[in-house]
Structure 1
């Protein structure tokens, strides 16, 4: 198993997310855009996440050449993003966000399937590889936050471009999986739809969309919210990093967690803890101790939920449909994330942070109730 090559790709990929999630909204605010326009611009990549993964997932399952899709997607992401250096007016930024994210969101679902092919029957080790993505995220939020405190937000596009080039380089370092090279099974739409109709599967994907919708205010306005409360950009970066450190610790313990928690317990517990987290951030973010606790809950709201979701898809979809299954997970995450970013953009000034995050809490409670009613009680990970 090429542990370090797979881990290196995750490091680079999520290093880019470490620049986007905390700082993209701040960059758009630096350019003078209103919260509504910021919400719209940030929703565009999430909308692309609704469309692109399904197309690329179908293509990956039909061709079996997922690694080529990853490499082409990484290269085209950097090429399309480079247009941001020419202009920064609203319509041009719409084009930049749509074009580069169409290829960026082609990458991860296919790479998840590649990683699982490399792992084979050792899939419980997935979290040990994925944790390097979290380390990459931390490296960016801390390093870039400090740089922008000193040099300003003008360097943001160049920093993102460097990371995109690194993703492309790492994609060519990853070897092709050998698990299915002898007799590749091509994806079948009828079989995929049959697997989609298994008990609890549709409910799971609806819960995924609601969980990501609840993250809309967090990913779109947390940095803006904290800056308004008087936190420095370096401190904001450290607070983002704290959440990801908690996520890394969970990843390191995930093999043990998977051994004694059922799939149902892990997913529902993550959703309920998310409801608590959003209320705390919306109402008590000016209290550093409360905010630190809320950031530690990232281990549940992203870490445990994401790992459980990856295992759920692997368990419920065949090898021939893994690309489409992972793509559907990514697409519905995009639907939820886009809706979350849009509603947060329009409600931030009209309702305020407390009510905006309260809506997020309601969404995840609804998702938890849905899984409690629809997901079989016997569901386990394995």
Structure 2
């Protein structure tokens, strides 16, 4: 079986998919700033793709489960992502860009959940190798942020749409290269009641509230971090390297996560992640002009994304039965999307009226609130 695993085909897809995230997270807000939009409009435009994350995975996931044509959905989603983003060349007006953001994100967010199912179907009894494949997604992110940062130092941000479409073409080619696979049929495991009953168990609702708060707290970072650093005098190539540093810390944390979860409970890991996030946002809001502090803050991405995400996925797996796993993961993605959209919106309005320090301070309060909730409401037995 191991000889038949299409390792490089699967890894190549993840490389390009997360390279697109590496091209949008640091540079999308910077591009809209380059076009002359205000902080409020930038926040709204960045929020739109996050709102699509609330809708698209659930709709396309239902279609994939109903038809079993997951690879066809991946390929269609990749093609429509490319075509719909190409509409950006027709106009640079706010309304048109909002439409482009909504359309391309609707198809882009359809792709990954379906591809995850295909990857695990290929792996079957080799599921432990998933991290070896997913690792290439983080590498793709790093290549994108470093490469595009250097590119935009040499060339104008006017080339940004072309760079994005080049990466989208890579996703499309990657999806065409991957062979299909269907998950093994397994007998239904006895559950612990329906999805709503499991959702209402002690600590579970509190966990999902904290998921939303954590994503709200990331609003200034994902929307204005690059703009913030450029205003402080950092070059775009340096900004790209700083984004890459955060992802490298995330990769190292993922490699250590199995050992951490053996030593610490999920509750402890989540609480520590929220507390470190609260500290990180204060550092970025007040001391980002000091490179040493900035480097430490970026290394803390290992906690604010890496340990949080790994522990959250573990929590969902532990607290939902086999037949409710998909719904539990979908709710996680949905609340992450809602929280991300709210974070982008509030950061846009607070950035314009109050400034970076207050925007990041609000983010810190949101993360601290999540730490208090998880400590008070999630019991060790709920891990």
Tell me the TM-score normalised to structure 1 length.
0.92
Q: Is the 8 A contact 1:61 1:324 kept in 2?
A: no
> 2:89 maps to what in 1?
85
Map of 1:69 onto structure 2: 73
Aligned to 2:35: 31
In the other structure, the counterpart of 1:6 is: 10
2:349 matched residue in structure 1: 346
**Contact 1:21/1:219 (8 A) holds in 2:** yes
Is 1:228 aligned to residue 221 of structure 2? Answer: no
Instruction: Decide which moves more: 198-207 or 89-98.
Output: 198-207
Equivalent residues in 2 for 1:1-382 (5 A)?
1-119=5-123, 125-180=129-184, 182=185, 191-380=194-383
- Do the aligned residues in 2 keep the contact of 1:138 with 1:244 (CA within 8 Å)? yes
CA RMSD in angstroms, aligned pairs only: 2.3
Alpha-carbon offset, residue 125 of structure 1: 4.7
SS of 1:230 mapped into structure 2:
coil
Larger displacement relative to structure 2 (99-108 or 257-266): 257-266
Task: Tell me how far 1:199 sits from its aligned partner.
Answer: 3.4
Rate the CA distance shift 1:125–1:67 in 2: closer, same or farther, 3 A: same
Q: Secondary structure of 2:27's partner?
A: helix
C-alpha separation in 1, matches of 2:216 and 2:268:
21
Aligned to 2:380, what secondary structure does the other structure show?
coil
Aligned mates of 1:154, 1:344 — CA distance in 2: 25
Q: Distance in 2 between matches of 1:302 and 1:124?
A: 21
SS of the counterpart of 1:378?
helix
The 1-side partners of 2:286 and 2:372 are apart by 24
Contact 1:36 1:346 (C-alpha < 8 Å) held by counterparts:
yes
CA contact (8 A) 1:77 1:104 kept: yes
Q: Distance in 1 between matches of 2:265 and 2:127?
A: 16
Does 85-94 or 125-134 show the bigger shift? 125-134
How far the C-alpha of 1:2 sits from its partner, in A, is: 4.1
SS of the counterpart of 2:258? helix
Q: How far off its partner does 1:304 sit?
A: 1.3
Q: Please say if residues 110 and 326 of structure 1, whose CA atoms lie closer than 8 Å, have aligned partners that are also in contact.
A: no
Work out the CA distance in 1 between the residues paired with 2:370 and 2:343. 14
Partner SS state of residue 22, structure 1: coil
How many residues in Structure 1 have an aligned counterpart in Structure 2?
377
Range with greater deviation from structure 2 (350-359 or 49-58) = 49-58
Residues 184-239 of structure 1, C-alpha deviations (whole Å, 9 max, x = no match): 87xx9x83334333432222221111111111100100000000000000111111
Deviation larger for 201-210 or 253-262: 253-262
Q: Closer, same or farther in 2 for the Cα pair 1:265/1:114, shift >3 Å?
A: farther
TM-score, normalising length: structure 2: 0.91
2:195 and 2:181 map into 1 onto residues whose CA distance is 22
- Specify every segment of 5 or more residues in structure 2 that has no aligned partner in the other structure, as ranges: none
